[in-house]
Every structure is written in structure tokens, then in C-alpha cells.
Amino acid sequence: MANRDLNRDEILAALDWYRAVGVDIAVREDPVDRFALSAIAPAKTQRAAPPQRASQQAPASQPPAAPAASTSDADPETARALAAKAQTLDDLRETLAAFEGCGLKLRATNLVFADGNPDADIMLVGEAPGRDEDLQGKPFVGRSGQLLDRMLAAIGLDRTKVYIANTVPWRPPGNRTPAPSEVAVCLPFLYRQIELVAPKVLVALGGASASTLFETNTGITRLRGQWRDLTINGHTMRAVATLHPAYLLRQPAAKKLAWQDLLAIQGELGG
């Protein structure tokens, strides 16, 4: 590629593809032994720097080094305290937009907060945004989102009658599974979101969402369709898990199970 002239559109397309697959570090043509570098780095940090005397201050022309961006996740207690201060969904969105305690934000294009009607009786919760969601800043807008829209339409619902969010509001690089620490630090914001929406029915879309919300390791094929009363931050609602639309795209035969769940959801809503 170095010997070929690339126009601006091709370069931007290549960069977009790199970002989509999770590339987060630039490399040179010459190989670099990063294992050796990582072994040297701890030894350097163990050497204590000598105390600087007052007469040895850095010259005024030398600006202080900017702090490196941290990719570590904050304490969930910090997130919980921030989420609790939000009195409205708009407050919560602004708090999340300013929150720097989740490393996923560093590589995401947009915050994917929610979509739909905050006054709806039903709230749907997925796992994490994908590429299309990251670009548009809205949950479930890709292929799985299109299927979800058709599923909702089959029982007389659309996005004006439901509220949709995710357990994690930023896209993990390469669409990988969110790490437990990433989920833990984002969960207080989701709980507060659920509390503010106060739905009558909560639907976990897929095994990851169900595992988080129901605090269980039971697989989605065994968990789906089992109704329960779920209390989050003092708000009690009926809750159920169903198969994720992305799973249904891969396993079309499972749509009959999802249809059973949809009919049960319709019945719970009194439809």
C-alpha cells in the first residue's frame, strides 16, 4: 500500500475499517518487540526519582506534560453516586456524556444512550452498541435493529411505544464482549435509567443482558420466557428475557421461540 497513491476517500475508508475492527495503536514498517519493552517498563518505574530542589525548577519555556488518558474503569461507587444525582433522563444523559470512568468511551464515536418513548410501559435492554449504533448514537439501528422493529410491529408496537437502552452505552472495540469491569461501572447508570423510566415491563434482549439484569449464569435458552418480579432501585416491574435479534439472524429456526415470548409480552401489556 506504501507504493500506491491513495486518494482521501480511500484513506478515510481504511481508517474507518481499522477503527471498526478495534485497531487502537499505530505500528511502523520495522517490527517492535513489545514484550521486551513491557519487561523494561516496570524496572524503570521502580526507580524512584530524586527529589527536585527549588532551584531546579523546569524552565518556563517547557510546558508541563499532559496526563496520559487512562483506559482503566472507575469505581462503581463513583458511578453510583453520579447516577443518583440525576433527576431526569436528560440529566442522566449529560452525566454519562461527561463521565470519564469507562475506558470504552475513549474509542467510541458516540454515546448510545437510548431511543424511543420514555413514557412507555415497556423497556427493552440489550448488551452493547455495534458499529451502526456507534455511528448514529442510537441503539438497535443495524440489521438486528431492523429485525427488532419487525418483531415489535408483529405485536402492535413501534419505537413510539417502547424505550430501548443497553447495559453498556459505548461500543466495545471490534464489537467484543464488554469486560466485567466495564459492565460494572456502567450498571449504576442503567439502573437509574430504569428507575426514571419506571416501565411496567422490562425485557432483556439476549443472554448478556439477562445475565446482568437478573444476576444469573443460566443460559438464555433456559432463561427465556420465564417471568419474574424484578426490583431495581426501588422500582418493581414484571421482567422477562428473550432471544437477541442478532442471534435470530444467525439461527432463524429460533424465531418460533421468540414469537412465543412476544405473544407473552403482548399479553402482559394487556394487548
pLDDT in tens, 4-31: 555 766 666 666 655 555 555 555 555 5
Q: Which pTM value belongs to this model?
A: 0.75
What is the Cα 90 distance to its own chain's centre? 18
Taking phi over 0 as left and psi of -120 to 50 as alpha, with beta for the rest, 137 belongs to left
Mean pLDDT of all residues in 257-266:
98
What pLDDT shows up at residue 73?
73
Share the mean pLDDT of the chain: 84
Residues 30, 32, 33, 36: is their CA dihedral positive or negative?
positive
Residues 34, 36, 39, 40: is their CA dihedral positive or negative?
negative
What pLDDT shows up at residue 250?
97
Min mean pLDDT across 61-65, 161-165, 260-264 is at 61-65
pLDDT in tens, 176-206: 999 999 999 999 999 999 999 999 999 999 9
Min mean pLDDT across 53-57, 168-172, 243-247 is at 53-57
